[in-house]
DNA sequence: ATCCTTAACGTAAACGTTTTCGTGTTAGTA
DNA sequence: TACTAACACGAAAACGTTTACGTTAAGGAT
């Protein structure tokens, strides 16, 4: 087992100084061609590669981006990571991942671990617990220490950093309008509790769409599911709540659900009740994941372009990292949603 | 914006040496209680945290694990990452991710980037292109430089490293036996080309199961899909191939598919042909993802326990990283599969 | 013969830690 | 009073780089 070779070892072997080796390898013309060739040959022979850690220490930058997300087994977040990774790699950055598991404490711990030199900047989406507790000190501290943050999807406006969001309001509005124009008369929404900003916005879009068409929104048709239900163990409870919704409002002919799982479950319940999709009931979901695409019938859905979100976030962060001037300005980029029509609507 | 505070700055402020500060913070009894308290108070006030990079350089270990996988938008791989992250974090390790995108070149580049000091060891699953080219020099070089590797799922035996695999052969055998015992007389398999080891093994399990019950395997019933089809753009081609399979063999009453997508697509095709599931056709998939759980009908499947795989891989790696003795022995841990019965079988 | 330039290399500092090995002061002992 | 031990701290090296600056020797110009 040959250990990694360092400049020092090459220097000793060739009987020159470390500086000479370093310069030779970087093609400095301070060094004679002879020596340069000799050093390079030796370096190639022994597979010399500069030690990243030493470089990081010297340059005070690590060329790595920290990603902090609530969970990874999730189509949207994986897509975002894919987007980040792609542009990060292209620009010579690595990507290091922390999972908060929707827990405030894990979010804080992870941030502290990564913030101490391991990374140059953060791309993150806030955990539900943090949103609920509304304690954002760890973000503000990190920022005030000079480490840039880019937030995506779940954001909070009070934090002064770049943000990449999807236009949740307009996205859901588009979806509901689609249902209205498809002649749905009683449109229900299956959404989450309000403290998750995206849930709140999507609900708001639903209401605005109805208002725009002079339809009165009925609270009966708004089902706010306890968000713990996204953890898929609670699927039975979710199913039951939706079943209740349908039974109490048998005239529902359109459903807008703020995520894939809710939409799919709504379809399942509808089928149990013998409702034909899309003839008797039309369904639209949010998040274009694998479920929407492969469900039967396949699900019309509002795509968030997760990969794009990740890519833009990475670009914003790297731009900030590599700009000389200290730009205190914060940007918010809105990624447009897209309604992908499939079989669950007419 | 207050920059990160270092030992040196604390030392200067308090008019002591750097060494004293360091020792005080680590509770060395070389330092008087007075000074210790003073230093600690100051450190707390200014949120001192040791710089990870400097520590890494000094200790020659980074406390980070490199994960290298073909793609991340994939239920199984996300699950594995989740498992790795959980045990890694518990033991004070971070996790850094590289994506090969199934490309040999990106795999090599990513390995080289990470191997130069950024991480202490690898957990990886080999890209398809690498498996096809059978060029494993980058793995062997990394290992010979003293950096441990743990492979999972897609492995190759020639490489001397720890491995965590699922028992693909027995898993698929179990599935096919289930179909046989459920009175299926003509069982087809939808699988991939042979160079992906897991595909080969699953096919083999299918054949062994048939043989065990004295059923002759018919090549007509073995559909080897070009694996590029897992990229979901090719879904139409996939559908067509399966349709052909069904049309040419109308007596098929059981299907075993080596992944979720194939299974779901088989169900979709069956439905188009008016075959009732599970009455006329029973289907079993491999990989317990979100599709299997939420399909209608829900899919009986062979679960690989991805999270467990990740957890075991991380444990193996960390064990090797932290053991004093240099154990050249390599282990292979087999994670048992589990047949999860749902609605697509009787 | 002296000075200057330049080519070719070495020295040392710096990044932020930890740790070994001094070293000076004080107090206790003979 | 002189010596020793304990205490409290500092100096310096080390991890692996890069780079500003210093040094040496050769050669050309005067």
For B73-104, what is each residue's pLDDT tens digit?
A: 999 999 999 999 999 999 999 999 999 999 99
Separation CA B110–CA B156 (nearest Å): 19
Q: Which of A248, A206, A258 is nearest to A227 (CA)?
A: A258
Helix (H, G, I), strand (E, B) or coil at A142: helix
Q: Do B102 and B44 share a structural domain?
A: no
Q: Do A117 and A88 share a structural domain?
A: yes
Read off the DSSP letter of residue B117: T
Judge whether B267 and B277 are in contact, CB under 8 Å.
yes
Whether residue B97 lies inside any domain: the answer is yes
Q: Do A180 and A251 share a structural domain?
A: yes
Which nucleotide is closest to A19, CA to C1'? C10
Q: Do A88 and A211 share a structural domain?
A: no
Separation CA A41–CA B194 (nearest Å): 41
- List chain B pLDDT tens, one digit each, 346 residues: 677 899 999 999 999 999 999 999 999 999 999 999 999 999 999 999 999 999 999 999 999 999 999 999 999 999 999 999 999 999 999 999 999 999 999 999 999 999 999 999 999 999 999 999 999 999 999 999 999 999 999 999 999 999 999 999 999 999 999 999 999 999 999 998 877 778 899 999 999 999 999 999 999 999 998 876 555 567 888 999 999 999 999 999 999 999 999 999 999 999 999 999 999 999 999 988 999 999 989 999 999 999 999 999 999 999 999 987 777 789 999 999 999 999 999 8
CATH of the domain at A329: 3.40.50.2300
Q: Do B175 and B292 share a structural domain?
A: yes
Q: Do A173 and A154 share a structural domain?
A: no
Read off the DSSP letter of residue A325: S
Which nucleotide is closest to B22, CA to C1'? C18
Residue in chain B nearest A291 by alpha carbon? B291
**Strand D reaches within 7 A of the B31 CB:** yes
Q: Do B271 and B154 share a structural domain?
A: no
Read off the DSSP letter of residue B195: T
Backbone angle region of B117, left / alpha / beta, with phi > 0 → left and psi within -120 to 50 → alpha: left
Whether residue A283 lies inside any domain: the answer is yes
Q: Do A159 and A86 share a structural domain?
A: yes
Whether residue A58 lies inside any domain: the answer is no
Separation CA B2–CA B59 (nearest Å): 28
The two three-digit tokens of residue B114, written as one number: 């990470």
Into how many domains does chain B fold?
3
Q: Do A300 and A179 share a structural domain?
A: yes
Backbone angles phi, psi at B165, to 5 degrees: -130, 160
Selecting from B1, B49, B271 the residue whose C-beta is nearest the C-beta of A296 gives B271
Q: Do B300 and B314 share a structural domain?
A: no
Å between B32 CA and D1 C1'? 30
Q: Which of B79, B91, B290, B311 to mutate to test the interface with A (most CBs of A within 10 A)?
A: B290
Three-state secondary structure readout of B7-74: HHHHHHHHCCCHHHHHHHHCCCCCCCHHHHHHHHHHHHHCCCCCCHHHHHHHHCCCCEEEEEECCCCC
Q: Which of A286, A324, A343, A316 is nearest to A124 (CA)?
A: A316
Judge whether A325 and A265 are in contact, CB under 8 Å.
no
Domain that holds residue A20: 7-50
Residues in A closer than 8 angstroms to B144, CB to CB, are 1-2
Record: contact B96-A97, CB cut-off 8 A: yes
Separation CA A219–CA B246 (nearest Å): 49
Backbone angle region of A274, left / alpha / beta, with phi > 0 → left and psi within -120 to 50 → alpha: left
Whether residue B1 lies inside any domain: the answer is no
Whether residue A343 lies inside any domain: the answer is no
Q: Do B297 and B313 share a structural domain?
A: no
Q: Do A151 and A256 share a structural domain?
A: no
Q: What is the pLDDT of residues A241-260, one digit of tens each?
A: 999 999 999 999 999 999 99
Whether residue B342 lies inside any domain: the answer is no
**Strand D reaches within 7 A of the A7 CB:** yes
Token look-up 């990081």 returns A56
Whether residue A240 lies inside any domain: the answer is yes
Whether residue A55 lies inside any domain: the answer is no
Å between A262 CA and C5 C1'? 80
Judge whether A94 and B113 are in contact, CB under 8 Å.
yes
Alpha carbon of residue A60 to chain centroid: 27
């Amino acid at each position: 087992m040959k250990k990694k070779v360092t400049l020092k070892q090459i220097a000793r072997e060739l009987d020159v100084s470390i500086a000479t080796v370093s310069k030779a390898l970087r093609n400095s013309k301070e060094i004679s061609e002879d020596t340069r060739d000799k050093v390079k040959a030796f370096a190639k022979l022994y597979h010399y590669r500069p030690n990243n850690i030493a470089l990081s220490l010297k340059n005070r930058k690590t060329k790595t981006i920290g990603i902090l997300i609530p969970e990874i087994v999730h189509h949207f977040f994986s897509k975002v990571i894919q987007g980040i990774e792609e542009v990060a790699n292209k620009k010579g950055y690595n990507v290091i991942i922390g999972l908060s598991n929707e827990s405030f404490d894990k979010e804080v711990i992870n941030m502290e671990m990564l913030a101490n030199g391991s990374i140059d900047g953060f791309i993150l989406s806030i955990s539900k617990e943090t949103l609920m507790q509304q304690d954002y000190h760890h973000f503000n501290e990190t920022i005030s220490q000079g480490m840039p943050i880019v937030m995506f999807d779940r954001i909070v406006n009070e934090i002064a950093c770049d943000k990449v969001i999807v236009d949740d309001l307009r996205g859901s509005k588009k979806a509901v309008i689609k249902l209205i124009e498809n002649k749905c008369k009683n449109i229900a929404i299956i959404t989450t509790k309000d403290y998750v900003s995206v849930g709140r916005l999507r609900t708001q879009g639903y209401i605005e769409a109805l208002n725009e068409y002079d339809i009165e929104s009925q609270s009966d048709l708004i089902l706010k599911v306890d968000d713990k239900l996204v953890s898929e163990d609670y699927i039975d409870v979710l199913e039951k709540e939706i079943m209740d919704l349908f039974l109490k409002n048998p005239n529902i002919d359109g459903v807008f659900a703020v995520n894939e799982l809710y939409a799919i479950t709504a379809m399942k319940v509808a089928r149990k009740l013998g409702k034909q999709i899309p003839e008797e009931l039309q369904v639209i979901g949010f998040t274009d994941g694998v479920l929407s695409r492969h469900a039967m019938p396949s699900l019309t859905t509002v795509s968030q372009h997760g990969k794009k979100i990740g890519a833009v976030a990475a670009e914003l962060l790297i731009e900030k990292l590599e700009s000389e001037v200290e730009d205190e300005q914060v940007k918010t980029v809105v990624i447009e949603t897209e309604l992908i029509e499939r079989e669950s609507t007419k």
